[in-house]
Structure 1
Amino acid sequence: MEIIISPAKKMRIAHDFLAPRALPAFLEQTETLLAYLRALPPDALRQLLRCNEKIAAESYAQYQQMDLRRGLSPAILAFDGIQYRYMAPQVFETGAFAYAEAHLRILSGFYGVLRPFDGVAPYRLEMQARVRVGGYDSLYSFWGGRLGAAFCPEDGVVLNLASAEYSKAVAQHLPAGTRMVGCVFGELEGGRVREKGVHVKMARGEMVRFLAEHGITDVRDARGFDRLGYAYCAARSDGRRYVFLKQPG
């Protein structure tokens, strides 16, 4: 089983705890994107990133100074969004880190696919960004089938804990015979399952932590997740979608 998660917009430099073990697999493509981003004037970069002037200026300086091979942080420690805070890799034990390295993959608009200990520099580039590079008009077309082809789980299962923005860059291109299982974390409202953004991010992070702490390699065992008040709902689940409902109280 391999697990996919989204990156986070917010990043940090994390040199001091653990060192990176390798460079990202798609560094050549990342270099192409970096050259494109460096050539954009600040206003064009702001429009591409859909951010305010302050963030655009910070991102512009970041890209101008970026070194893709030095001063890097392990990816699993570099991202700092809600999902990563609930995953809490800073307090993983050795076995949990080993599990993450073997099973967890972080999708990225800038780096493609990252293993937890791949070295990364802070960046800002969402998968939905409308890049115009190499004859492509989006990051989805730029990455094409590369990302899906990077997955080859021994049991043929990919557990999807990523947002739709990122998972769709992989789903269409998985090798034949590979099954993607998605997770829904919601609440029953008026007889329907409703997902709430912040709660979903929290649950995804807790799910990764749960899987790592228990060393889970059979996707069916993910159904035992019972943190943050969630419980597996067999009646609303099937072989491609596991539904976890927030319990009253």
Structure 2
Amino acid sequence: MITLISPAKTLDLSTSELPLFSLPDFQKETFELVRLMKRKSLSDLQNLMGISENLAVLNKQRFVDFQNEFEMHNSKQALLAFKGDVYMQIDVDNFSEEDFQFTQENLRILSGLYGLLKPLDLIQPYRLEMGVRLENKKGKNLYEFWGTRIAKAINETAKGEALVNLASQEYFKAVDQKFLKMKVITPIFQEYRNGKYEVIGLFAKKARGMMVNHIIKNRINDPELLKTFNESNYEWAGEDAEGNWRFVR
């Protein structure tokens, strides 16, 4: 069973003390995108990514400084570097070496710049969301740039087992499902508000992180066992009309 999550905009770039690491699989493609981004002006970055001038300056410099080698002095393990709402629920500070090994084998992170990351892959700081309309030699956006590569890489990793999709819609669109050779299970998390159940963004992100942590700590490899997930008072409530697995509270 492979679990899939999105990256985060917020990064923790402090030095990692974890000696375990791996290298990204799509370095050629990453460097191709970096070369494209290096040529962008500050105003180009602001318009392309919808960010402030300060953020444009920061990320322009990140692309200018991007190195040809991923090493501990210029990079950090992806699972430790990302610090968004999902990642804050993954208790990496208390992971054992066995936890990290299970995570490395069973979790993958989608990325606009890196395509598909293993948790311990070293990444250099960046910002490039999957939904950005960055024209490139393969098309008009990053979905066309990555094409079928991500789906095929997931197939190789999952070896025909299930895929648990805990990524956002923006990122999961980068996975060409026509090429997936496994069952896709998409859990959704809903809150009871004003007489009905609905998805509330912040709570849903945190719940996705809780489920990732639950999978890792309990070494879950059978999707059916996800139905026992009850962190933070969520409980299994069946499938919706689209086949999503509903967890409610």
TM-score interval w.r.t. the shorter chain?
A: over 0.9
CA contact (8 A) 1:171 1:180 kept: no
Distance 2:29 2:116 in 1: 11
Q: Which residue is equivalent to 2:137?
A: 134
**C-alpha spacing 1:180/1:68, structure 2 compared with 1 (3 Å):** farther
Q: Which runs of 5+ in 1 are unaligned?
A: none
SS of match in other structure, 1:82: coil
CA contact (8 A) 2:150 2:176 kept: no
Q: Which residue is equivalent to 1:65?
A: 65
Where in structure 2 are the equivalents of 1:98-117 lying within 5 Å? 98-117=101-120
> What is the RMSD computed on CA atoms of the aligned residues?
1.7
Distance 2:201 2:88 in 1: 15
Distance 1:225 1:155 in 2: 24
SS of match in other structure, 1:4: strand
Q: Which runs of 5+ in 2 are unaligned?
A: none
Q: Which residue is equivalent to 1:222?
A: 226
Measured after TM superposition, the shift of residue 173 of structure 1 is 4.3
CA contact (8 A) 1:21 1:119 kept: yes
Between the two proteins, the alignment pairs up a number of residues equal to 244
Percentage of identical aligned residues: 30
**C-alpha spacing 1:126/1:98, structure 2 compared with 1 (3 Å):** same
**C-alpha spacing 1:237/1:218, structure 2 compared with 1 (3 Å):** farther
Distance 1:229 1:60 in 2: 43
**C-alpha spacing 1:45/1:161, structure 2 compared with 1 (3 Å):** same
Residues 60-104 of structure 1 show CA distances to partners (whole Å, capped at 9, x for unaligned) of: 111111115232101100101011011122221222211111100
CA contact (8 A) 1:27 1:111 kept: yes
**C-alpha spacing 1:168/1:186, structure 2 compared with 1 (3 Å):** same
Where in structure 2 are the equivalents of 1:1-249 lying within 5 Å? 1-19=1-19, 21-69=21-69, 70=71, 71-152=74-155, 153-176=158-181, 178-189=182-193, 192-234=196-238, 236=239, 240-246=243-249
TM-score by length of 2: 0.92
Distance 1:62 1:201 in 2: 27
TM-score by length of 1: 0.92
Paired residue type of 2:4: I
